[in-house]
């Protein structure tokens, strides 16, 4: 990756953000659209976690990472502190890897 590409991508990202402000201005978006837009970051993050958990390269794979995510989801559902969620997920993943070879 060259610096030129990095700069072009940064300028493009900034241009998209400015375009949103210019196009929408001071207009208020409809409530259903506002609710949908508020959910986009969570959906995107969830999709990235699932993709990175269940794939290696171009192949799907079920391994220790899935166990770590499952334990993390359970801990988050039980409203454990974030640092504990991370610790139990990492610990579970390490334990499954150690036991599985």
User: Could you give the angle at the alpha carbon of 25 between the alpha carbons of 23 and 28, nearest 5°?
Assistant: 105
Q: Which residues contact 29 (CB under 8 A, 6 or more apart)?
A: 37
The answer on pLDDT for 101 being more than 70 is no
Nearest-10 crossing angle of helices 64-77, 82-100? 150
For 29-65, write each residue's pLDDT tens digit. Answer: 889 988 998 999 999 999 998 898 888 888 888 889 9
């Amino acid at each position: 990756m060259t610096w030129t590409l990095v700069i072009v991508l940064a300028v493009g990202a900034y241009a998209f953000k400015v375009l949103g402000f210019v196009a929408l201005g001071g207009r208020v978006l409809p409530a259903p659209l506002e609710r949908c837009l508020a959910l986009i970051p969570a959906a995107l993050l969830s999709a990235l976690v699932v993709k990175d958990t269940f794939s290696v390269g171009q192949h799907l794979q079920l391994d220790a990472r899935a166990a770590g995510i499952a334990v993390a989801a359970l801990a988050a559902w039980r409203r454990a502190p974030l640092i504990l969620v991370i610790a139990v997920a990492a610990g579970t993943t390490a334990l499954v890897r150690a036991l599985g070879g």
